């Protein structure tokens, strides 16, 4: 005789749950240096350089096609899982960042708004750097772990 039991599906953590950095505030005992791996940090620096060129030199934005973070997290992972931008905002595809306001200004041909939002995006990306990285003028922190996304 079998007992009547109500079976519920086992709770599965989301794909994001395996990423300790998925917390939107990087709270707890983990520091950003421990959460962001060297590969991600290198890509973040590349994305910052991209937005420096856009904000300061009027370079063209190639969207995800010329974004080092997107090359790791948009192309190889569904919904930007693990991307520091998504970690901060809680949304994929750079939603809730100045990026989309920049794109809207670009479509409208509003160059002053484009410069403003490009600078805001640059500032946002810089805010994602680990504190020790701000202090070392762009050099990668030695405390960075190797907890990055898939290798190409």
The 3-state secondary structure of 39-89 reads HHHHHHHHHHHHHHHHHHHCCCCCHHHHCHHHHHHCCCCHHHCCCHHHHHH
Assess if residue 128 is contained within a domain.
yes
Assess if residue 45 is contained within a domain.
yes
In the block, residue with structure tokens 């620096």:
45
| pTM confidence score | 0.67
pLDDT of residue 149: 46
Query: Which tokens go with 109?
Result: 């041909």
- For residue 117, give its domain range: 31-135
Task: Please give the C-alpha separations between residue 84 and each of 6, 41, 62, in angstroms, as whole numbers.
Answer: 40, 9, 19
Assess if residue 17 is contained within a domain.
no
Name the average pLDDT for the chain.
Answer: 75
- How sure is the predictor about 134, in pLDDT bands with cuts at 50, 70 and 90? low
Query: What is the percentage of the chain residues whose pLDDT exceeds 70?
Result: 64
Task: Please give the C-alpha separations between residue 33 and each of 78, 119, 146, in angstroms, as whole numbers.
Answer: 24, 24, 10
Assess if residue 120 is contained within a domain.
yes
C-alpha–C-alpha distance, residues 2 and 13, integer Å? 30
Provide the number of structural domains found in the chain: 1
Assess if residue 35 is contained within a domain.
yes
- How sure is the predictor about 79, in pLDDT bands with cuts at 50, 70 and 90? confident
pLDDT of residue 23: 37
Assess if residue 148 is contained within a domain.
no
Query: 145: which strand partners?
Result: 37
Instruction: Give 9: exposed, middle or buried? Use CB within 10 Å, 0-12, 13-18, 19+.
Output: exposed
Q: What is the pLDDT of residues 19-76, one digit of tens each?
A: 333 333 433 333 444 468 999 999 999 999 999 999 999 999 999 999 999 999 987 7
pLDDT of residue 27: 38
Assess if residue 3 is contained within a domain.
no
């Amino acid at each position: 005789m079998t007992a009547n039991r109500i079976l519920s599906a086992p709770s599965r953590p989301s794909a994001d749950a395996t990423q300790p950095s998925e917390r939107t505030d990087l709270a707890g005992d983990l520091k950003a240096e421990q959460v962001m791996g060297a590969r991600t940090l290198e890509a973040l620096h590349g994305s910052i350089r991209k937005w420096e060129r856009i904000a300061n030199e009027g370079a063209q934005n190639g969207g995800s096609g010329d974004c080092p973070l997107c090359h790791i997290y948009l192309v190889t992972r569904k919904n930007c899982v693990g991307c520091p931008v998504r970690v901060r905002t809680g949304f994929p595809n750079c939603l809730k960042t100045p990026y989309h306001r920049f794109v809207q200004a670009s479509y409208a041909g509003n160059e002053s708004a484009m410069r403003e939002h490009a600078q805001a995006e640059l500032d946002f990306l810089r805010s994602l750097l680990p504190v020790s990285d701000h202090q070392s003028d762009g050099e990668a922190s030695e405390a960075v772990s190797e907890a990055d996304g898939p290798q190409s």
